[in-house]
Structure 1
């Protein structure tokens, strides 16, 4: 595996102000939704097992501790004080690598609305990304101080319910602006650059997510973005790290897992909902992806909270 980032010696030093706010809204180990649907906060009190998942468009932040993200052959270390921007859905395997009861892992995730990003780029009249810049779909970089302050203000607003609905959208807009003009800006601008491969593949990914149960035909997907099938495959793999078929399979399995966890469907019901015609094929592919058959995996997930 290629090592792209290394945790620094001060990986556990963190961002004290942001850490305290996250800890307040994540009082024990687990994942916590907030009043803002796009914002969630997370605490872990020990390192976790590697877990396959798909990161969508958004900003992940580690305020204390660190994580490891495996993206195909690359291993990325993602530590306190850094932000991870995902500009197009990425299948990864991630886990918390530094956490303890005394000094838990503390992080947050802010999902971004692509239409809002696009409008902001237009309003700011930002230039298109340089032609020689690479289309990085996942970028880990130091957080700008002003982004951290804006995130702190967003979390503080959770304690002001009378003002939250009026002010939170303004703070989210500020965060998007600061991301666009900061270290993460080029990756976001690739997403909205008219006709760019990232924008075209993002359209296909959005369609796949909305039509999971539909059969996937490469020729039809390529036609949607006016590419030849071979060019489409090449761009898709470059940006997501996997083939369209593998990506579609991972989307289906992740959605089936959430249906079993959150809606208490059994394996057969979940498999049918996401388009599997064979229960045995679903079970085999699920076990290969998550390391255990559906029922055992869901039971393990519930036991872990």
Structure 2
């Protein structure tokens, strides 16, 4: 019932393809009417809730397909391949994109951790995935509906927007993705903090020793926990982030050499070899149309 009502609300407010602001900071509605194969993108911490159609994301070879039955929760920046292979004019992809505010999520996660029984404590030896799928439950559906029902009324958005967004965050922390979100934003968020550090320094030399030292771990422990969280080793992660960002820059019209240098490559031949090994095409053969479309959401 919630999702059908949400579908009608979004259809009424989104008349054309693309991302549409709601007035609430970090919350956008989207519509996609073309089939797009999965291609390199970078997911930032966010919730993506689909009300019609389906979306796909691939992380280190693992494929995630989500539709109106499950929402996607990404708790840290991740290099993925993303696409909308089933979208069409007759069956458009409709949904809601919600950026996760680090400050608010951290406040909620720590407050819940300090409240006995508010959220199940994760097993200490496990590091949840950075990208998880969660079934829509009544708490999440109700909170999301209340947020979208604000519509375009500036007064309602100004007075109620932040509190209703906070309700959605709380619903996520209580749901199946709650443990992953708690690890990323609450106590014990070392891997998420290291990824935030990496993401702002992709053009610099980064070593595992530096990353481990910043979060107070040994090299071996950091490597193990990092791979548990992202499915990739730290070095694989850095390379994938650099190449995905470069691919998106090239698709947007950037010069190949400039895109490579921005990501810390000093050798254009090395960049070309690694790019072709990753994507099967040289940087100059890369398709801007395909990449721009795949990176919409």
1:210-225 aligned within 5 A: 210-225=200-215
Match of 2:98 among 96, 106, 110: 110
Give the distance between the partners of 1:235 and 1:302, measured in 2 at CA.
31
8 Å contact from structure 1 (residues 129, 189) kept in 2: no
Q: Deviations over 1:208-246 (max 9, x none)?
A: 111111101111111111211122111111111111112
Match of 1:76 among 55, 58, 64: 64
Question: Match of 1:174, SS?
Answer: helix
Which residue of 1 is the match for residue 174 of structure 2?
Answer: 181
Task: Report the CA distance shift for 1:281/1:14 in structure 2 as closer, same or farther (over 3 A).
Answer: farther
Which residue of 1 is the match for residue 268 of structure 2?
Answer: 279
Matched, 1:91 2:79: yes
Give the distance between the partners of 1:14 and 1:213, measured in 2 at CA.
44
Most deviating of 273-282 and 122-131: 122-131
Structure-1-length-normalised TM-score: 0.82
Task: Report the CA distance shift for 1:303/1:56 in structure 2 as closer, same or farther (over 3 A).
Answer: closer
Matched, 1:172 2:165: yes
Which residue of 2 is the match for residue 265 of structure 1?
Answer: 254
Matched, 1:22 2:14: no
CA RMSD of aligned residues (A): 2.8
Q: Which runs of 5+ in 1 are unaligned?
A: 1-12
Task: Report the CA distance shift for 1:193/1:37 in structure 2 as closer, same or farther (over 3 A).
Answer: closer
Q: Which runs of 5+ in 2 are unaligned?
A: none
- Shift of residue 177, structure 1, vs aligned partner: 1.4
Which residue of 2 is the match for residue 148 of structure 1?
Answer: 141
8 Å contact from structure 2 (residues 41, 248) kept in 1: no
Which residue of 2 is the match for residue 299 of structure 1?
Answer: 288
Q: Deviations over 1:151-201 (max 9, x none)?
A: 23333435113442332211111111122223322222222443x3xx111
Give the distance between the partners of 2:292 and 2:121, measured in 1 at CA.
46
8 Å contact from structure 1 (residues 14, 81) kept in 2: no
Give the distance between the partners of 2:2 and 2:160, measured in 1 at CA.
27
Question: Match of 2:145, SS?
Answer: helix
Match of 2:123 among 122, 128, 131: 131
Which structure's relative contact order is higher, taking Cα pairs within 8 Å and 6+ residues apart?
Answer: 2
Give the distance between the partners of 1:279 and 1:173, measured in 2 at CA.
46
Most deviating of 20-29 and 115-124: 20-29
Question: Match of 1:15, SS?
Answer: helix
Matched, 1:161 2:154: yes
Task: Report the CA distance shift for 1:157/1:284 in structure 2 as closer, same or farther (over 3 A).
Answer: farther
Give the distance between the partners of 1:292 and 1:24, measured in 2 at CA.
41
- Shift of residue 204, structure 1, vs aligned partner: 0.9
Give the distance between the partners of 2:27 and 2:17, measured in 1 at CA.
17
Task: Report the CA distance shift for 1:90/1:272 in structure 2 as closer, same or farther (over 3 A).
Answer: closer
8 Å contact from structure 2 (residues 22, 152) kept in 1: no
Task: Report the CA distance shift for 1:158/1:278 in structure 2 as closer, same or farther (over 3 A).
Answer: farther
Task: Report the CA distance shift for 1:164/1:67 in structure 2 as closer, same or farther (over 3 A).
Answer: same
Give the distance between the partners of 1:149 and 1:283, measured in 2 at CA.
48
8 Å contact from structure 1 (residues 129, 190) kept in 2: no
Give the distance between the partners of 2:87 and 2:126, measured in 1 at CA.
33
- Shift of residue 61, structure 1, vs aligned partner: 1.0
